[in-house]
Chains A and B, each alone.
Chain A
Amino acid sequence: MFTASCPEVDSGKRLGVSMAMVFFSGELQRFTGEESCSVVAPNYRELLAELYEKHPGLKDSEIAQMAIAIDGEIVHEPLLEEIPDGAELHFFHFIAGG
């Protein structure tokens, strides 16, 4: 179950580091084995690097091609995104439409 409050993130805030919480979809949980994890990453590039380090299996997933929601705001091309302290992050497949 996704959770709104996260003790690890709150702890990161107290330590003054940029800590965010990543929630994995059912598809990504196959590669992570967990529903969520905390990351210390000020931007998207470092976020992805840390996720690969924590969960090497993610390199076989499509996570690098996915869109990301940062505190609910959907970003389709996140390469240059900064990750706010305490943010909730969700990866999901790019949506287009008709």
Chain B
Amino acid sequence: MSELKQYNFIGQRTIRPDGYDKVTGKANYAADLALPGMIWGKILRSPHAHAKILKLDTSRAEAMPGVMSVATFADFPSVSNEAIQSGEGAVDSLDLGRNILARDKVLYHGHAIAAVAAKTEAIAEQALALIDVDYEVLAPVLDVREAMKAEAPLLHEDMFTQGYPESPEKPSNIAARHEFKMGDVEAGFAEADVIVEREFATPTVHQGYIEPHACTVNYNTDGQSMVWCSTQGHFDVRASTAKLLAMPLGNLKVVASEIGGGFGGKTTVYLEPVALILSRKSGRPVKMTMSRDEVFRASGPGSAARLTVKVGGTKDGTITAMKASIAYEAGAFKGSPAMVGGMTAFTPYDCPNVYCETFDVVVNKPKVAAYRAPGAPQAEFGAEMAVSELADKLGIDPVEIRLKNAAKEGTQTIYGPKLKSVGLVECLEAAKNSPHYKTELKEGEGRGIASGFWFNIGGQSSVTINMNPDGTGTIVEGSPDIGGSRASMQMMASEELGIPLNDLKPVIGDTESIPYNQTTGGSRTTFATGMAVIEAAQDVVRQLKERAASLWNVTAEQVEWRDGSAVNTAGEGQMTCAEICAKCEKTGGQISGTGNVNARGAGPSFAVHVCDTKVDKETGKVDVIRYTAIQDAGKAIHPSYVEGQFQGGAAQGIGWALNEEYVYSNEGVMENAGFLDYRIPLASDLPMIDTIIVEVPNNFHPYGVRGVGESGIIPPLAAVGYSVGDAIGANVTELPCSPPRVLKLIQEKG
């Protein structure tokens, strides 16, 4: 890998291969498939946030004309506490089963209890009303701090906190505690001239993908069942569904449709196993779609968090100690990304004395799912707010204090390894030198700066490149394309093969067309699947050279591959890819290259954002008036897509900071389950998000790639939060900075 290498395709802003179908409405999404004889499935959901199910009787619904089948938890063959891999790591299969069809308790308003499949949607809806459920209503607990109290209502009587030195004797809503430490944090604070300590809170937020969850399935007793769905990981949909239904993996084909947004929220299953039960019992294909209301009430949002952060520094700006206590809501079942919060909170800083304690806590809300850099935005919000306040109190520029303490190659992380080459310093320098940062604020405006760190991952990816007799080819990959990865795969394959982009068509293969691929998540696809593409393309080149050699009657070592053609170095002659492919039938059959990798060496990506806001002091409304997102991409394969990732992350983070939150009644009923009341930013709400791509190559990737999909959502929370505080002269400690909350801060300040 070389920074100076000149590429033919890498780094170009090419036309996306999926664009035409999407803008003309021809792309097929999850709800677009219809099969002959198909019926419709609907879900009965809990009207209570916390209740025991005393009786569940589906007989009246089953007897209704037009109803074809009914499903409850009892229809799962046998579900135990085995781990299943999903986008967020391993999940407990019993918890997964109980989340998509309640067993003995309902644990949040909207929790699925039973499902009906009928000949029409209307009949299925009517049949839901005929299902008789008796409840013993219990008190809900809706806040992480309340849930941690010893006297809090328990969601799971058999859950004991993992992670304390001594095993607890009583059950608790705290599922797990983790501790990370290095150095002597108290000694570090003793060295400090100034200490900042504050409590912060962030709300439950949704990923806000436009396309609701949907699937069409067909159960078949001959071992050829099929699921068509919108997912970031169809192989993990297969694994989860097959586990819950006790099916061999080979009996289930999962096809990933085009996806209308995921952002981590489509890395688990809600409908697919239920639909397959309904299909099995009815003998008919079944379609299920969630309404927007169901998406909000019953699919996994991002965790709400409460954290206490303490940072100390000396007069020269050296940060001497950093400490945090971090509690995340997991929703109804264990498994929040609290631990990740502890691993990421202070990683942008090269500080020798750090301590983090994290708590994974269940509450009566939907089970959380991954949301872009899951766990990092909440914790880094508190850390970045505290560092900015420390800079303020020390009278040091907020970029300068970050530069002075920036993590760099060799920095010891709290989660274990030392960092390899990273680009935080370069991002901070770019921020400092940006036109935005050099522009002075006007009266009444505020500015916030924040950094963000995300690990990025590699993992398993498989790719096949099938060449055609005319020299064109198909790139079959297994990573659902949620952010433009097909374009990147096409570019990397073309770079290796030396043939035009349009000669290679990238497609997402189903689970029978390609070996296992990990879910698209963790910013892994361009990095890891890209490595598989490169390997597959190099395999094709090797075979093309061999075929050319056989036609020239020389050895393969005597053939070189230059700009899409084989060159005979032992004599005269040159053959294009198309010419060699046209003669495949004479040289041993068609050519297919494979790349199967378990990619390692993913390079972390740091981001730095600068945000200017203006606040209407009469209403508390905040306007973002200028925003710049800077991030290390390692090497931008397709700069427009990289910029899009930066801008998308910033927009979602701004929404998290300004408007988005689940609002619950005291009874645990979500009161804003729709896009009118759950306010994600519209294009008209935002200024142009300016972007600066920093390229510090990741030495573990052939082109230097780092994933860019997640770091961009981390800095906005603190960049916006601090900017608002700067504009009104108050300390923002709780998100979102919605008008009522900002107005209260203004009024309190007097």
Binding site for B on A (CB under 8 A): 1-2, 4, 23, 25-27, 30, 69, 72-77, 88, 90-98
Q: Are A94 and B89 closer than 8 Å at their CB atoms?
A: yes
Q: Does B183 interact with chain A (Cβ within 8 Å)? A: yes
Q: Are A96 and B182 closer than 8 Å at their CB atoms?
A: no
CA distance A1 to B352 in the complex (A): 8
Q: Are B521 and A96 closer than 8 Å at their CB atoms?
A: yes
A77 — which chain B residues lie within 8 A by C-beta? Answer: 598
Q: Are B264 and A76 closer than 8 Å at their CB atoms?
A: no
Q: Are B457 and A97 closer than 8 Å at their CB atoms?
A: yes
CA distance A12 to B417 in the complex (A): 21
Q: Are B600 and A73 closer than 8 Å at their CB atoms?
A: yes
CA distance A96 to B90 in the complex (A): 9
Q: Are B415 and A26 closer than 8 Å at their CB atoms?
A: no
Q: Are A98 and B371 closer than 8 Å at their CB atoms?
A: yes
Q: Does B456 interact with chain A (Cβ within 8 Å)? A: yes
Can you name the residue of chain B whose Cβ is closest to the Cβ of A95?
B455
18 A–B contacts, CB within 8 A, in A order:
A2-B412, A25-B415, A30-B165, A69-B417, A72-B418, A73-B417, A74-B601, A74-B602, A76-B598, A77-B598, A90-B416, A93-B339, A97-B370, A98-B87, A98-B207, A98-B369, A98-B370, A98-B374
Candidates A4, A23, A73, A97; contact of B522 at CB < 8 Å: A97
Q: Does B523 interact with chain A (Cβ within 8 Å)? A: yes
Q: Are A97 and B418 closer than 8 Å at their CB atoms?
A: no
A90 — which chain B residues lie within 8 A by C-beta? Answer: 415-417
Tell me the total A-B contact number using a CB cutoff of 8 A: 105
Tell me whether chain B's interface is mostly helix, strand or loop, or mixed: loop
Can you name the residue of chain A whose Cβ is closest to the Cβ of B710?
A97
Q: Are A25 and B416 closer than 8 Å at their CB atoms?
A: yes
In the complex, which of the residues B420, B524, B700 has the most CB atoms of chain A within 10 Å of its own CB atom?
B420
| A-B interface, 6 closest residue pairs, ranked by CB to CB distance from nearest | A98-B264, A97-B522, A90-B416, A69-B417, A98-B370, A26-B179
With A4-B418, A97-B87, A97-B456 known, 14 other A-B pairs at CB within 8 A are: A27-B179, A69-B416, A72-B419, A72-B420, A74-B458, A74-B600, A76-B458, A91-B416, A93-B339, A94-B90, A95-B340, A96-B89, A97-B454, A98-B710
Interfacial residues of chain B within 692-723, with CB under 8 A of chain A in the complex: 700, 710
Interfacial residues of chain B within 594-640, with CB under 8 A of chain A in the complex: 598, 600-602
Q: Are A92 and B416 closer than 8 Å at their CB atoms?
A: yes
Q: Are B88 and A96 closer than 8 Å at their CB atoms?
A: yes
Can you name the residue of chain A whose Cβ is closest to the Cβ of B417?
A69
CA distance A98 to B207 in the complex (A): 10
B524 — which chain A residues lie within 8 A by C-beta? Answer: 97
B188 to chain A, nearest CB (A): 11
B700 to chain A, nearest CB (A): 7
Q: Are A97 and B600 closer than 8 Å at their CB atoms?
A: no
A93 — which chain B residues lie within 8 A by C-beta? Answer: 89, 339
CA distance A98 to B376 in the complex (A): 11
Can you name the residue of chain A whose Cβ is closest to the Cβ of B419?
A72
